[in-house]
Chains A and B, each alone.
Chain A
Amino acid sequence: MSLGYGDFTVLRDVSMTVSAGQVVAVMGGSGSGKTTMLRAATGQMAPQSGTVCTLGQNLSTASREQLHGVRQRMGVLFQQGALFTDLNVFENVAFPLREHTTLSEADITARVLDKLQAVGLRAAAHLRVAEISGGMARRVALARAIVLEPELILYDEPFAGLDPISMGITARLIRDLSDRLGCASVLITHDVQESFAIADQVYLLGQGRMVAAGTPLSLTESTAPYVRQFLDGEPDGPVAFHYPDTPAFTKWLDRQQGGRS
């Protein structure tokens, strides 16, 4: 399908499938449309053409209740965690349970602490959101995303801005959860090293379309110029270093230099 905002098409002719138990990494440079894809997958954005089918439900034709049902079966981890700052850690993780289930208080406590244990933050349940670090916040958000035991988890840049230890922890968590819960995980990331270590399948986006798809091994061995530039971290290549000249810039430059003389 094709995705875009208004007249501007961010991605065209993109096609990908994810199956249960798989960890899929969607990679690409900044502005390559990764977050746009995430929005399409959650139904926050409708595709310009083609269909988005999440957990068997075509999102373009879904009614509010059907969309509601699909969203309860998936978890999303936002880049900054997106924790509710007026609640503490425990209440944040308990939020989906309180909204969607009628469990007793004891059951809720048991489940929440169990999920916090899975991310290693059981003893932080009493802390307020302002009191925890960024890495911890992300882990709490992960606990919140899995508390309903979803079939699909989407991670938006889970490794961005983390120190090496936290990165290692997060990568291991993603893999473990996928294996344990049997859910599918989709990572939107541009971190090559960590994601290649845990992914089963990698999709590389660039220049408005899907550039490569395959196992991490096949991509490492690929000779396509964009893939090579991305994986090797070359400053210049198919993605140019210099921002291209535009008429708007030329006009501005004339004004700027004309004004000074």
Chain B
Amino acid sequence: MSALVSLVSRLGAWVIGCISATGLFARFFVQLLARSGIALRRPRLVSQQVHFIGNYSLLIITVSGLFVGFVLGLQGYYTLRRYGSEEALGLLVALSLVRELGPVVTALLFAGRAGTSLTAEIGLMKAGEQLAAMEVMAVDPLRRVLVPRLWGGIIAMPILAAVFSMVGIIGGWFVGVQMIGVDAGAFWSQMQSGVDVWNDIANGVIKSVVFGITVTLVALYEGWHARPTPEGVSRATTRTVVVSSLAVLGLDFLLTALMFGN
């Protein structure tokens, strides 16, 4: 009996823990936003972070985009051939990428590559007392270290998603038109008539911005609150990937329902 009671109370404590963690998270976000003036006053800091976060992710994003495009081209072709609609391959590849795969897969890769490096960096700075040193030097570490990284991530993510989509479409074109022999004219014209700039591309960009904010914020939060030990940093990086991936997928569902539901 007491085992059941303790189980329930543990469950309750866990739920309360989740809710207070969400509150902490929201407060963290507001704190960072409040200090964002530095992004305008010292844009060099932000551009340095865009470099570390964005440029260093280009390779994995480009290669992944290319292969996703290849696979979409292949799989799309085999499926469309059943209904005699091979000419719609361009449309299929473009819509899949621009609406969903571009933002989502980029966000997941981003979480794995940039998110973990952000978390580890901040966690290790905390462990090495660098953040405390900054604080006693009267430099606010939130402002000096975290805000530039937040904006770096927000700027880098949509760019990466756009590159992913572009490279994916080219990959789909390569497989579909060059290798399989789908008509090039039909490929592009069906795509152009079916992909709407505002409904599809702009919505995809909005999604990638939202995902960028989410992933970067989670990464910074986990790093900032990590325990300053090797295990603490390792657990924090794991949590970054897990939490941000789940958040991205959940938000994707919400956003898709909002944007494309009607």
The reply on B196 being an interface residue by CB < 8 A is no
Docked-complex contact A82 and B135, CB < 8 angstroms? no
Docked-complex contact B136 and A71, CB < 8 angstroms? yes
Stretch of B105-113, B124-132, B215-223 lying at the A interface: B124-132
Interface residues of B in 109-166 (CB under 8 A from A): 125, 128-130, 132-133, 135-139, 144
Closest beta carbon of chain A to B19's beta carbon, Å:
23
Docked-complex contact B138 and A100, CB < 8 angstroms? yes
Report chain A residues within 8 Å CB of B136: 42, 44, 71, 74, 76
The reply on A78 being an interface residue by CB < 8 A is yes
Residue of A nearest to B128 (CB): A82
Docked-complex contact A85 and B130, CB < 8 angstroms? yes
Closest beta carbon of chain B to A145's beta carbon, Å:
8
Tell me the complex Cα distance, A96–B133, Å.
11
Report chain A residues within 8 Å CB of B139: 95-96, 99-100
The reply on A5 being an interface residue by CB < 8 A is no
The reply on A260 being an interface residue by CB < 8 A is no
Closest beta carbon of chain B to A93's beta carbon, Å:
12
| Interface bin, chain A | 20 to 34
Residues 193-204 of A, flagged 1 when their CB comes within 8 A of B and 0 if not, give 000000000000
Residue of A nearest to B135 (CB): A44
The reply on A68 being an interface residue by CB < 8 A is yes
Report chain B residues within 8 Å CB of A74: 136
Docked-complex contact B132 and A82, CB < 8 angstroms? yes
Task: From B132, B133, B139, name the one whose CB has the most chain A CB atoms within 10 angstroms.
Answer: B133
Residue of A nearest to B48 (CB): A86
Docked-complex contact A44 and B132, CB < 8 angstroms? yes
Report chain B residues within 8 Å CB of A95: 137, 139
Docked-complex contact B138 and A68, CB < 8 angstroms? yes
Tell me the complex Cα distance, A163–B128, Å.
22
Report chain B residues within 8 Å CB of A42: 136
Docked-complex contact B137 and A71, CB < 8 angstroms? yes
Residue of B nearest to A78 (CB): B129
Ranked 10 nearest A-B pairs via Cβ: A71-B138, A82-B133, A82-B129, A76-B136, A72-B138, A42-B136, A68-B138, A99-B139, A78-B129, A82-B130
A-B contact pairs, 25 of them (CB 8 A): A42-B136, A44-B132, A44-B136, A67-B138, A68-B138, A71-B137, A71-B138, A74-B136, A76-B133, A78-B129, A80-B128, A82-B132, A82-B133, A83-B130, A84-B130, A85-B125, A85-B128, A95-B137, A96-B137, A96-B139, A99-B137, A99-B138, A99-B139, A99-B144, A100-B139
A residues with CB within 8 A of B: 42, 44, 67-69, 71-72, 74, 76, 78-80, 82-85, 95-96, 99-100, 141
Q: A44-B136, A71-B137, A96-B137 are in contact. List 13 more A-B contacts (CB 8 A).
A: A71-B135, A71-B136, A74-B136, A78-B132, A80-B129, A82-B133, A83-B130, A95-B137, A95-B139, A96-B139, A99-B137, A99-B144, A141-B133
